[in-house]
Amino acid sequence: VMVGVDPSGPGEATTVVEDHQVGGIFVGGDATDLLTGGVLPTLRAGAPLGLMVAVDEEGGRVQRIEGLDGDVPSAREMAATMTTDEVRDLAARRGGVMAEHGVTVDLAPVVDVSDQPDRTVIGDRSWSDDPATVTAYAGAYADGLLEAGVAPVLKHFPGHGEASADSHEGAASTPPLDVLRDRDLLPYAELLPALGTRTAVMLGHLDVPGLTEPGVPASLSPAT
């Protein structure tokens, strides 16, 4: 079980790990006190089953360690202005900063294929509306994280790039499964065999015609 904790101090993290023995904590928000306060190594050392420490560090609008390592561009901007080797190097450096501060998992990269406007739910968090470009750049980002010893998480399976709404705010549906197979699922098909057990996948809260039962999102569907 991974639970969200207050990033502004050690109290909540200490309680959930020591009293409830959760296997993971998610450090959200922009505060970095929990990452810099020195408590995470102690908590990880004392967790009987080990402890995953996760942030969602994508770049652009979704950054958690800019206070420690400065600002980095969005995925869309990186794909437009950088080579895959440069993105791999950036992710390796960024992952090194995360690892130094006790982070073991980055809930990134986004592998959604999308041409949505920048400030929409996925928007500039997507590398491109071309599956091959998404695969190349997301793969480079994942490789950089792994080089630093941080586990990447591909998201949002099976594809939020053309969803009908923001799944953070309510029900959202995707195009039919057959459409996803020809576009949104292609990055997963290529990246997962290459990355194997070194990475994870985040399920989206998405109704998928042809896969899930009506009203049952992929995150809760046995079919997924």
d(CA 12, CA 157): 30
* Helix, strand, coil percent content, the chain, rounded in steps of 5: 40, 15, 45
Q: 20-71 pLDDT, tens per residue?
A: 999 999 999 989 999 999 999 999 988 888 899 999 999 999 999 999 999 9
∠ CA 138-131-191, nearest 5°, is 45
The predicted pLDDT at position 179 comes to 97
- Say how far apart CA 164 and CA 166 lie, in whole Å: 7
The predicted-structure confidence for 151-167, as pLDDT tens digits, reads as follows 999 999 999 999 999 99
Q: Which residues contact 96 (CB under 8 A, 6 or more apart)?
A: 148
pLDDT of amino acid 119: 94
Tell me: pLDDT of 220 over 90.
yes
Task: State the average pLDDT over residues 186-215.
Answer: 94
CA separation, residue 17 to residues 55, 64, 121, 125, 157 (Å): 17, 21, 32, 31, 28
Question: What is the structure's pLDDT at 146?
Answer: 98
The residue type of 180 is L
Report whether 134 contacts 111 (CB < 8 A): yes
Residue 184: predicted pLDDT: 98
Count Cβ atoms within 10 A of the Cβ of residue 66 and give its class: 0-12 exposed, 13-18 middle, 19 or more buried: middle
In this structure, are strands 151-157 and 105-106 parallel, antiparallel, or unpaired? Answer: parallel
Whole-model pTM: value is 0.95
Tell me the mean pLDDT in the region 217-224.
92
User: Can you give the pLDDT at residue 219?
Assistant: 94
